[in-house]
């Protein structure tokens, strides 16, 4: 329940298709709140947003998401646009440091979880880095797909096929769908 004088957080969401990907995005007046990427459309985006911000009001609106959509579309076309949009996320200081560290990984390159742990000053924290990346609400803006395990691709919240797709895209191999194993 809203307290008298309490400002209600407004979150604006939008969905768009790019090739075979469904992109669901959300922004506030402060910045990007959530990006979700899937090969299949899922209807639970509002439920997910409500869990992130239970006291917020939600509006389907393109305009507050226009800059975010433009950056994501440019990226998915194979460009390397600046990922300098503001974030509106609530997180721990450790996750924030991991996410900021991952943002320094150059386009088209990868690092492993241990590398990122060293970057954020926790040399034995590879597992903690993986857990922080698992909570990333802004894939692509926070390019956690560029972090791989020593023995393979590692995990990815949007699924390993999407991670493979994004990594191939950055290598200049604009893939059809990469779900073929």
In this structure, are 165 and 97 located in the same domain?
A: yes
In this structure, are 110 and 68 located in the same domain?
A: no
- Spatial CB neighbours of 74, under 8 Å, sequence gap ≥ 6: 81
Of 15, 20, 51, the residue nearest 137 (C-alpha): 51
pTM: 0.89
In this structure, is residue 65 part of a structural domain?
A: yes
Q: How far apart are CA 181 and CA 167, in angstroms?
A: 15
- Give the pLDDT of residue 148: 96
User: What is 117-179 written as a DSSP string?
Assistant: HHHTT-TT-HHHHHHHHHT-SSBTTB-GGGEEBTTB----TT-HHHHHHHHHHHTT---S---
- Give the pLDDT of residue 6: 62
Tens digits of per-residue pLDDT, 87-99?
A: 999 999 999 999 9
- Give the pLDDT of residue 3: 52
In this structure, are 69 and 98 located in the same domain?
A: no
Q: Are 11 and 57 in contact (CB under 8 A)?
A: yes
Query: Where in the sequence is the domain holding 151, given as residue range(s)?
Result: 93-170
**Whether residue 103 lies in the annotated active site:** no
In this structure, is residue 139 part of a structural domain?
A: yes
Q: Is 74 helix (H, G, I), strand (E, B) or coil?
A: helix
- Give the pLDDT of residue 8: 83
Q: Of 76, 105, 127, which residue is a domain's last?
A: 76
- Give the pLDDT of residue 16: 96
List, run by run, the mean pLDDT of 10-residue segments along the chain (181 residues).
Answer: 66 94 96 94 88 94 97 94 95 97 97 97 96 96 96 90 94 59 36
Task: Count up the domains in the chain and report the number.
Answer: 2
- Give the pLDDT of residue 174: 65
128: CATH: 1.10.10.10
State both tokens at 139.
């894939």
| Catalytic-role residue among 144, 162, 167, 169 | 144
């Amino acid at each position: 329940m809203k307290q008298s004088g309490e400002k209600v957080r407004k979150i604006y969401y939008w969905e768009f298709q790019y090739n075979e990907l469904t992109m669901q995005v959300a922004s506030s007046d402060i910045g990007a709140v959530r990006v979700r990427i899937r090969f299949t459309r899922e209807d639970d985006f509002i439920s997910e947003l409500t869990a992130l911000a239970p006291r917020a009001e939600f509006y389907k609106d393109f305009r507050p998401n226009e800059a975010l959509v433009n950056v994501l579309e440019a990226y998915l076309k194979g460009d390397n646009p600046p990922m300098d949009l503001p974030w509106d996320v609530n997180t721990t200081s450790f996750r924030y440091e991991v996410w900021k560290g991952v943002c320094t990984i150059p386009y088209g390159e990868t690092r492993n979880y241990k590398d990122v742990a060293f970057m954020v000053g926790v040399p034995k924290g590879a597992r903690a880095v993986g857990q922080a990346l698992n909570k990333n609400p802004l894939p692509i803006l926070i390019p956690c797909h560029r972090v791989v395990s020593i023995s393979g691709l590692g995990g990815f919240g949007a699924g390993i096929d999407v991670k493979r797709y994004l990594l191939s895209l950055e290598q200049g191999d604009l893939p059809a769908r990469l779900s073929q194993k």
